[in-house]
Amino acid sequence: MVSVLVAAISPVMESIDFMLRQLSFVNIAGSTESIREAVDIASVEPVDAMIVDESLLSDSWGLQDRLAREPFPLILIIHTPSVESTRRALAIHAADVITQEAIPSLLPPLLKSLNKSEEHPMSLHRIIGVYSAKGGVGKTTLAVNLAWSLALLSERPTALVDLDLQFGDIGPMVHDSPDVTIRELVEGSPKEVEEDKLSRSLIAVDGLPLNLLLAPLHPQYADLVESHHVKDILQHLKATHVFTVCDLSAALSDQNLSAMDLVDVLMMVATPEMITLRNVARSLKVLQTLYPEQGRIRVVINRAGTGMTSDQISQVLPIPVSYWMPSGGVTPVRSANTGKPLVVVDPSNPLAISIENIAKTLLEEFEGASRRTVRKDVL
């Protein structure tokens, strides 16, 4: 619930009161025509936001400093935009300014953004690493399509980072010839990555709350990215994005290990072939020593049903398989050649459906039953 205090006079008071009573997530902490009385109410009642009619501020100059010091956001309702209304908004440190006629359209979403009860207690920002000890197993395909699915399903800020620094493929798969990569980000940053420089290095995806940070265009620049850069980047992204998906390289390099230290879930991708599974099994033994937390490392079998059986696979791997993905045929390659993710090009493809189901499973795990959705059948 959002506890709202209203300080307004007629007819603004009636407009606000009518709107607030339509919102099930709002509790009206109090309504008054006096700024002084509103301040007194706020001193004894829990308040998440105060709505202030600018008409009351003309007679309350002495209380504007007091309003500016309140710990909750102030929403100023003005009649028409003017220099005077701007000055008043600045004087009380208003978080938002809304005209009276815009109350029905702008006030509900603004208050909804303050609704803490909608945030599940386990709804923390998460980093997901996608890794494989062997190339050619569909690691990047999983990372790209998982990030797309998380952004689409959650409608929350999501980042996709290509940390396969020498031979990263995310750029060619989804974005031709980027102007900025991780190379330009870290150049001239020997000690730490600046947050504003990072934000300028992200490539926004049209129509989705998804940002990309791509690998250098040439492998010789991979060494410019040091382990402390990786740590800074992921910590900054975690603070501003609900989900961050990292496509990691096959090597257990310092950069990779710095990323793995920060991930909440590490997906280990393999195909049902003995050579690949043995390499994965050896890597798992090392990684389990470094990250013994149960559920942190999860095995993903791609092209399930095309090689070894599930029983044979379980005999090779030291931990159970968490996710099974079927072959997508030739469509994943074709979608990569077009520069678009599989979940966009062919959402009905069995592999696309499987990756979408993985995203739904992660959303439920991270955010609870409120995110429960119906999984599609893989044909």
DSSP 107-150: HHHHHHTT-GGGS-TT---EEEEEE-SSSSSSHHHHHHHHHHHH
Residue partners of 59: CB distance under 8 A and separation at least 6: none
For the segment 232-240, the average pLDDT, to the nearest whole number, is: 91
Report residue 304's pLDDT band, with 50, 70 and 90 as the boundaries: very high
Q: CA 153, 157, 255 angle in degrees (round to 5)?
A: 110
Query: Do the bridges between strand 74-78 and strand 49-53 make them parallel or antiparallel, or are there none, so unpaired?
Result: parallel
**Tokens in use for 104?**
């029905």
Residue 336: which of 328, 257, 287 has the closest Cα?
A: 328
What are the pLDDT digits (tens) for 81-99? 888 888 888 889 888 899 9
Which position has the higher pLDDT, 59 or 241? 241
For the segment 314-326, the average pLDDT, to the nearest whole number, is: 94
**Tokens in use for 298?**
């999860």
Sign of the torsion angle spanned by Cα atoms 299, 300, 303, 305: positive
Residue 68 near residue 35, CB atoms below 8 Å: no
What letter does residue 56 receive in the DSSP assignment? G
Beta-bridge mates of residue 31: 6
For the segment 273-291, the average pLDDT, to the nearest whole number, is: 93
What letter does residue 206 receive in the DSSP assignment? T
Residue 130 neighbours by CB distance under 10 Å? 27
For the segment 236-247, the average pLDDT, to the nearest whole number, is: 93
Residue 277 near residue 308, CB atoms below 8 Å: yes
Q: How far apart are CA 362 and CA 365, in angstroms?
A: 5
Residue 352 near residue 339, CB atoms below 8 Å: no
Q: Is the pTM of this model over 0.75?
A: no
Whether the predicted pLDDT of 300 surpasses 90: yes
What are the pLDDT digits (tens) for 189-201? 667 888 888 888 8
Whether the predicted pLDDT of 282 surpasses 90: yes
pLDDT at 370: 47
pLDDT at 276: 93
Q: How far apart are CA 309 and CA 368, in angstroms?
A: 33
250 Cα distance to chain centroid:
25
Q: Which domains, and CATH codes, for the chain? A: 2-117 (3.40.50.2300), 126-377 (3.40.50.300)
pLDDT at 271: 95
Q: How far apart are CA 36 and CA 66, in angstroms?
A: 10
For the segment 327-354, the average pLDDT, to the nearest whole number, is: 89
Residue 177: which of 218, 211, 208, 140 has the closest Cα?
A: 218
> Over the Cα atoms of the chain, what is R_g?
26
Q: In 3-state terms, what secondary structure has residue 176?
A: coil
Whether the predicted pLDDT of 224 surpasses 90: no
Residue 209: which of 265, 141, 143, 154 has the closest Cα?
A: 154
